[in-house]
Structure 1
């Protein structure tokens, strides 16, 4: 789909759009409790936002670095943590999710990180595998949803 762009969410309005997409996808659609969806890591995260040409938000994701990422990935200082990737129902299948992942990987490279980890919902494993991520470790629940850890080295 042409007609959308992805950018780092720098303004408060952009960040609110990111949170609104997450609320629609994770809280309303998937039933994740709101108190679990938003956390202390949001303040220091790099948030990315996909928007249609007319400004309508289509998707979001975030990158954690430093100590926040180390908590998520088992302590590796040079590995970022991709998370909270969400695409609105209307935008699914249009390439928005892949564009968001690429933007997060670019942000990780800009920060000198060697790899990106993520915790994927098991139904989304194929999506991430097509983008070069590999599964490691056992399945685990997160907010009552089965997940697997995945990692992609950055070049």
Structure 2
């Protein structure tokens, strides 16, 4: 999978499409919570396999952290380690921008995935869009 920073409106729409399919359609997150007022200040990522978008995420630079958000892989693309590729690309972009720490709010079912990538849980469980999460951080 080729992961790229969305540099035009087509790539950004591809990222939004993947996010909508995963979060709104599959996980039943309200659409107005998924695409929000922070999109314009975010760096968007989209992953393509043979020209088809299958992965997406966004990153914001908040205080001393690269905040990794909306990380998702379409169902048909899961199990191929594309999540690893997406996270690696985001971390590399964060480092290019001078960031030394990353933070994310992980759905609790995804915590083992992020732990394998070196993230550590730093919060108690909390609800976001009706889904249990915990905050995790990593030194880049």
TM range (shorter): over 0.9
Q: CA deviation at 1:114?
A: 1.3
CA displacement 1:2-32 (0-9 Å, x = unmatched):
xx21111101000000000001000000000
Residue 104 of structure 1 pairs with residue 100 of structure 2: no
Q: CA deviation at 1:40?
A: 1.3
Residue 24 of structure 1 pairs with residue 21 of structure 2: yes
- Counterpart position of 2:60: 64
The equivalences for 1:51-90 within 5 A come to 51-53=48-50, 55-65=51-61, 69=62, 77-90=63-76
Residue 132 of structure 1 pairs with residue 118 of structure 2: yes
- The answer as to whether partners of 1:7 and 1:48 remain within 8 angstroms in 2 is yes
CA displacement 1:61-101 (0-9 Å, x = unmatched):
11101xxx2xxxxxxx2211000001000000101111111
Q: CA deviation at 1:137?
A: 1.2
Aligned equivalents of 1:137, 1:78: Cα separation in 2: 18
Aligned equivalents of 2:89, 2:37: Cα separation in 1: 22
Q: CA deviation at 1:113?
A: 0.8
Q: CA deviation at 1:39?
A: 1.1
Unaligned stretches of 5+ residues in structure 1: 70-76
- Counterpart position of 1:72: none
SS at match of 2:29: coil
Give the number of equivalent residue pairs. Answer: 140
CA displacement 1:106-130 (0-9 Å, x = unmatched):
1110111110000000000000000
Tell me the C-alpha RMSD between the 2 structures: 0.7
Match for 2:41 among 36, 39, 44?
Answer: 44
